[in-house]
A and B are shown apart, each in its own frame.
Chain A
Amino acid sequence: MPSRSEMGRGGDIAIVGWAQTPMERHTEKSETQLLMDVISAALAPLGLTRADIDFTCLGSCDYITGQAFSFVSNLDAIGAWPPKRDSHVEMDGAWALYEAWLRLQEGDIEIAVVTGSGRSSTGDPSLIYPMEMDPYFLAPLGADPLTFAALQARAVIASGIADERSMAEVAIRSRSRGDVDALLAEDYIREPLRRHDVPPITDGAAAMVVATGDRARRLVERPAYITGFDHRTECHNPSFRALDDSPSTRLAAEAAGLGDGPIEVAELQAAFTHEELLLADVLDLGDDVSVNPSGGALRANPIMATGLCRIGHAADHVMSGGHRALAHSTSGPCLQQNLVCIVADTP
């Protein structure tokens, strides 16, 4: 019988606060400056300083930033002196949180700070992202994320999970503006996707403070306990997958204990409207669940921080009185890899 912690739940670890930079189309600040600001902003309300941080884990991507070892400059934002227990993942900050969550369970430290940062306005995503695709068959064609999203959208529409109208409705809900018929009258930019179906370019960073239970309870009234945390991947080439499904999301949610009880809020990293509908379907979210009250990635998409922001918003729900929320992050073409984090008001 696997132990509680082996099933993706476990540890008495909680989120006690987080901060995000203003989400801008184009910031004049460097990534390091964004991090400097946001780490200070996350610590200040807790009465903590950088000296109080036992472990840091950063999430960022050299190719987005445009420099090898770009995370080394980001280390300067941490104040790693005296030296810090520190790590870095070339992934969204949501996975940096995962590493910190494991690390805190080792029991010898109390407080971790994780970050996600990226300036997506630095380069052109349509030219950068093909480089994460199969190097022999896909990258040389410049196969870009919009193309893959469109192909998945078609599959999702064909399966009946979404249609162009419900996709437009997702866009309107996310951005708090728009009229369905007016949006549907617009041209496709990558049929069946229209401009409103795709994420904005956003520069931004997020920092989150996580602590072991006892410390968390001393820091805030209502910590958001991480009661389940898991991530799974699928095979890479979308040609080999059924695009009207997201099995890794299902697996991760199961392992994270989604089925253990009801949730009020689901923050899903859906950069495209059809993704939100697909994910909600895969997760079997009822009408009583509020999906992406923050506006999600369709409102602001700070690459490498988008997932961490989802977790932050889910944590906010619990910290401000809610009971249980789910956050999701994703990486790779057509939702190749998916992470689910469940936060609740009790450990």
Chain B
Amino acid sequence: MSTRPCAVVGVGQTHHKSRRLDVSFGGLVREAVFRALDDARMTMADIDAVILGKAPDLFEGVMKPELYLSDALGAVGKPMFRVHTAGSVGGTTAIVAASHIQVGKHRTVLAVAFEKQSEGNAQFALGSGRGASLGAGGAFAPFIRAYIHRSRAPEHIGWKVAVKDRLNALKNPYAHLRIEDISIEKVKASPMMWEPIRFLESCPSSDGACAMVLTDEQGGDAAAADGRPPAWILGASSRSEPASFPGRDPVRPAAALQCAADVYNQAGITDPRRQIDTAELYVPFSWHEPIWLEAFGLADEGDGWKLVEDGTTELGGSLPINASGGVLSSNPIGASGLLRFAEAANQVRGAAGEHQVDGAKVAIGMAYGANSQYFSTWAVGRSLQPFG
């Protein structure tokens, strides 16, 4: 690829909650935007273009919100773009934003993604208002059942992931769920939602926003010189596959495998397990952790659950996954993908605070959407050549 370097120099997010009743639609987004700008030591005037991502507008009942939010995002007189790729949208937002810089169209862009889903009802929106909506987990429970069978994973793996992510969330001041007394027993005792997925193995429904400031090589170098090392984009990719057709494997989707291969190829990653220090994977239901570990080559096929079992993916382990608490702890649907990309960036910037993975130099952020069909992934590094 003949692309120019692109760096993440600012990250901001809201305090994610089930209902942010204290803010308006614009207020929610601006909270994240100003945090990101402050983090980048910039103002709205420094931004050349705004890229907004969001899940279906049916969630809030505001159609094409980039129109209403144009002035709120300081985009007047600038390009304003809206992407929508289902659950992976936050990731796509970052990738499209980066594209502007990588081809030299702009120098500094703002990527924003959000959801104020408490204004509506997520289950309603997912089913487009019809009865007997499967809900988010209904589509995935059969995939998870298939994974458990294939891998012969013991039943407690899902519970372990759920506990790990909520414990990590306690170290993330922005996380929605803060369950101080989370435990295997508590998860196991929680109500069954979509057999075998229990309530405490499921993501919450959150109001929240995430914003990211991306800039060019000059801007990235300036931030580094100022003692604020950026996250350099090492590779980025998106792939989609159709929802349903005979022969489709939704547990190890081809789109995921190809997306990962593409990113690793761009980033010079030949041994993901060794070369990636930490990953933010889109895990809305606990079992997605071992599933994505395998699809993204961080574990061999069938062995993803073993990395959960032996503590590898815990914050103190050799490959921490979702140090931020992940989607399991905060899930403003449109923003969740961008949060994964942003948290990965923060790790290699050394800006992850209490949930920092020590010495993280290379991280990946991954998001997926719809029926495990849309995949967006990026790899970021503390330097442009992390492997020498």
A–B in direct contact per CB < 8 Å: yes
A5 to B54, CA, bound (A): 28
A106 touches B3 (CB 8 A): yes
A76 touches B243 (CB 8 A): yes
Q: Is B228 in the interface zone, CB < 8 Å from A?
A: no
Contacts of B128 in A (CB 8 A): 66-68
A136 to B245, CA, bound (A): 43
Contacts of A251 in B (CB 8 A): 77
A236 to B63, CA, bound (A): 13
Q: Is B96 in the interface zone, CB < 8 Å from A?
A: yes
CB distance from B353 to the nearest CB of A (A): 32
A81 touches B238 (CB 8 A): no
A279 to B172, CA, bound (A): 50
A80 to B254, CA, bound (A): 11
Q: Is B71 in the interface zone, CB < 8 Å from A?
A: yes
A3 touches B240 (CB 8 A): no
A75 touches B240 (CB 8 A): yes
A69 touches B105 (CB 8 A): no
A152 to B245, CA, bound (A): 49
A136 to B61, CA, bound (A): 12
Q: Is B107 in the interface zone, CB < 8 Å from A?
A: yes
A136 to B102, CA, bound (A): 38
Among B61, B84, B107, B243, find the residue whose CB has the most chain A CB atoms closer than 10 A: B84
Among A132, A230, A333, find the residue whose CB has the most chain B CB atoms closer than 10 A: A132
* Mask of A49-91 contacts with B, CB within 8 angstroms, 1/0: 0000000100001110011110111011000111111111111
A86 touches B240 (CB 8 A): yes
Total A residues in contact with B, Cβ cutoff 8 Å: 65
CB distance from B26 to the nearest CB of A (A): 10
B2 touches A106 (CB 8 A): yes
Contacts of A132 in B (CB 8 A): 62-64, 67-68
Contacts of B374 in A (CB 8 A): 86
Q: Is B141 in the interface zone, CB < 8 Å from A?
A: no
A23 to B91, CA, bound (A): 35
Selected from A68, A83, A91, A98, the residue in CB contact (under 8 A) with B258 is A83
Interface residue range, chain B: 35 or more
Q: Is B370 in the interface zone, CB < 8 Å from A?
A: yes
Contacts of B100 in A (CB 8 A): 102
Selected from B63, B82, B85, B240, the residue in CB contact (under 8 A) with A131 is B63
Q: Is A147 in the interface zone, CB < 8 Å from B?
A: no
A95 to B76, CA, bound (A): 17
Selected from A75, A98, A139, the residue in CB contact (under 8 A) with B242 is A75
Contact of A81 with B245 at beta-carbon distance under 8 Å, contacts A86-B239, A235-B70 already known: yes
A84 touches B70 (CB 8 A): no
A31 to B77, CA, bound (A): 33
Contact of A336 with B239 at beta-carbon distance under 8 Å, contacts A106-B3, A131-B63 already known: no
Contacts of B309 in A (CB 8 A): none
B3 touches A107 (CB 8 A): yes
- Closest chain B residue, CB of each to CB of A99: B96
A87 touches B70 (CB 8 A): no
* Mask of B247-261 contacts with A, CB within 8 angstroms, 1/0: 000000111001100
A233 to B67, CA, bound (A): 8
A232 touches B255 (CB 8 A): no
Contact of A90 with B68 at beta-carbon distance under 8 Å, contacts A102-B103, A232-B77 already known: no
Selected from A5, A89, A106, A247, the residue in CB contact (under 8 A) with B1 is A106
A52 to B337, CA, bound (A): 29
Contacts of A213 in B (CB 8 A): none
Number of A-B contacts (CB under 8 A): 185
A87 touches B125 (CB 8 A): no
B67 touches A102 (CB 8 A): no
B82 touches A90 (CB 8 A): yes
Contacts of B224 in A (CB 8 A): none
Q: Is B194 in the interface zone, CB < 8 Å from A?
A: no
A282 to B86, CA, bound (A): 37
A248 touches B104 (CB 8 A): no
Selected from B3, B76, B78, B82, the residue in CB contact (under 8 A) with A89 is B82
A267 to B59, CA, bound (A): 35
* Mask of A307-347 contacts with B, CB within 8 angstroms, 1/0: 00000000000000000000000011100110000000000
Q: Is A302 in the interface zone, CB < 8 Å from B?
A: no
- Closest chain A residue, CB of each to CB of B241: A83
A72 touches B64 (CB 8 A): no
Q: Is B106 in the interface zone, CB < 8 Å from A?
A: yes
Q: Which of A6-14, A153-161, A193-201, A215-223 makes up part of the contact surface?
A: A6-14
CB distance from B9 to the nearest CB of A (A): 18
Contacts of A179 in B (CB 8 A): none
Selected from A66, A85, A108, A331, the residue in CB contact (under 8 A) with B239 is A85
A87 to B125, CA, bound (A): 21
A72 touches B243 (CB 8 A): yes
Contact of A5 with B84 at beta-carbon distance under 8 Å, contacts A83-B241, A131-B62 already known: no
Contacts of B44 in A (CB 8 A): none
A332 touches B67 (CB 8 A): yes
CB distance from A256 to the nearest CB of B (A): 11
Known contacts A83-B259, A337-B80; 15 further A-B pairs (Cβ under 8 A): A61-B64, A62-B56, A63-B63, A68-B125, A81-B241, A81-B242, A83-B239, A84-B240, A88-B85, A89-B83, A95-B82, A102-B100, A230-B79, A236-B70, A236-B71
Chain A residues engaging chain B, CB cutoff 8 angstroms: 3, 5-6, 8, 10-11, 56, 61-63, 66-69, 71-73, 75-76, 80-91, 95, 98-99, 102-103, 105-108, 128-129, 131-136, 139, 230-236, 240, 247-248, 251, 331-333, 336-337
Sort A-B residue pairs by CB-CB distance and give the 10 closest, nearest first: A107-B2, A83-B255, A86-B240, A68-B56, A105-B103, A235-B71, A132-B63, A233-B80, A90-B84, A332-B67
Q: What are 8 A-B contacts defined by CB distance under 8 Å?
A: A6-B106, A82-B254, A102-B99, A106-B3, A106-B102, A135-B25, A233-B75, A332-B67
